[in-house]
Amino acid sequence: MEYRYLFGGSLLFTCCFLLYYYQSHLLFNINRTYIRSSPIPAIRNHTAIILARQPTSKVLKHLDALVKIGINAFVMCDEQPSKYTNITNRILYVDDETLARYRLTRNRVWDRVFLWLYNQTWIDYVWLMEDDLTWTHARHMLALFNKYEHNTADLLSRNIIYRNNETLDWMWWPKIVLKILPEKKWSGSLNMLSRISHRLINAHKYYIEQLYNERQYIIESQFDDNYYYQEFLIPTVAHMFNLTMLMYDSSNMNVFFTSLSEDDIRQSLKDGKKIFHAVKHNSSLLINT
C-alpha cells in the first residue's frame, strides 16, 4: 500500500511538472513572437520649440503632434500667455522686463527663446521652428531630427550665406560696422526651421552682452538694430566662434520665406514635399498632425 502511494505521488508530480513545462514553453514562445512582431521604437532625445505669437489652436495641434511621437516639444510665446496656463505646461514665456535688461526692446519671440535657452544647460541641441511651418504628418519631422541626431554641427539651417560681393544686396546686413563683429565674419541664414547647439547658445549670449556693453558708449544713431536680427546674429556669432554651420537636406520640403497658397501646396504635394513654410492659413490640403 505504501509503495502504491509513493508511485501515485511520483506519477502526479511528473504529470504536474510536464504540464508546467509545456505551459511555460508555450507562453515563452507566444511572448517571444509578440515581441518580434511588435518592436518598441527606440526613445529619441529630440527637443523642439515652436515660436509663436500666441498658442492658437493650430499651434497647440502641432505641439500635441510632436509630443505624441516622442519629441520633447514646447511653445515659446511672444505675448503674455497667462490666460493659457491651464492648457499645458509646455508653454514658455520670457517677460519684457527680462528683455529690457539686455536692451532687447523689439520684443521678438526669437529674443525670448534665446534668453530662455541661456539657462537650459540640459539642452545639447534644440530644433527651432516658426509657427507657420507645417507638415503632412509629424513623422516627417521626426525623420528629419533622426537623420541629424549624430551630426555635431552647431547650426543646421535651410540656407547659409556669407558676406561677399555676390550677397551685398541681402536686406538684413547692418549699415554700420562694429569692431566687435567685423564685416568679414558677417553671415546670414534662413532659420524658419533650424537646429542650434548649446555652444551656439553660449556664443549668442556672449555677443548679446557685448552688444549691450557697446551701446553704453555710443549714441543710438551709431547703432543698427539689424545686429539683433536673428537671421544675421545667429550665423554671425557662430562664425565668430568658428562653429560649424551646415545646410540640411531640404529635398522633401517647400520651405522658404514666401507665403504658400493652396495651389502652391497642391503642386508641392505632387512633387513629393512633406514639410512646408510659410503656411499662414489653415490649409485643407495638409493633415497638420
Q: Are residues 122 and 93 in contact, defined by beta-carbon separation less than 8 angstroms?
A: no
Residue spans of alpha helices (H) in 38-177: 57-68, 96-101, 109-117, 138-147
- pLDDT at position 289 is 54
pLDDT digits (tens, 9 = 90+) for 112-159: 999 999 999 999 999 999 999 999 999 999 999 999 999 999 999 999
Residue 232 CB partners (closer than 8 Å, separation 6+)? 172, 173, 174, 186, 187, 188, 226
Q: Are residues 260 and 244 in contact, defined by beta-carbon separation less than 8 angstroms?
A: no
Q: First and final CA of the chain: distance in angstroms?
A: 76
Q: Calculate what percentage of the chain has a pLDDT beyond 70.
A: 81
pTM value surpassing 0.75: yes
Chain-wide mean pLDDT for the chain? 85
What's the CA gap between 234 and 236, in Å, rounded? 6
- pLDDT at position 218 is 83
- Measured in degrees and rounded to the nearest 5, phi and psi for residue 130 equal -80, 160
Beta strand 253-255 with 275-277 is parallel
Res 38 pLDDT > 80: no
What's the CA gap between 254 and 260, in Å, rounded? 9
What's the CA gap between 116 and 168, in Å, rounded? 33
- Measured in degrees and rounded to the nearest 5, phi and psi for residue 20 equal -65, -45
Residue 45: C-alpha distances to residues 67, 106, 141, 170, 216 (Å): 12, 33, 14, 36, 41
Query: Residue 47 CA to chain centroid, in angstroms?
Result: 5
pLDDT digits (tens, 9 = 90+) for 221-254: 788 999 999 999 999 999 999 999 999 999 999 9
Question: Would you state the cell numbers that stand for residue 256, as one nine-digit string?
Answer: 522658404
What's the CA gap between 146 and 150, in Å, rounded? 8
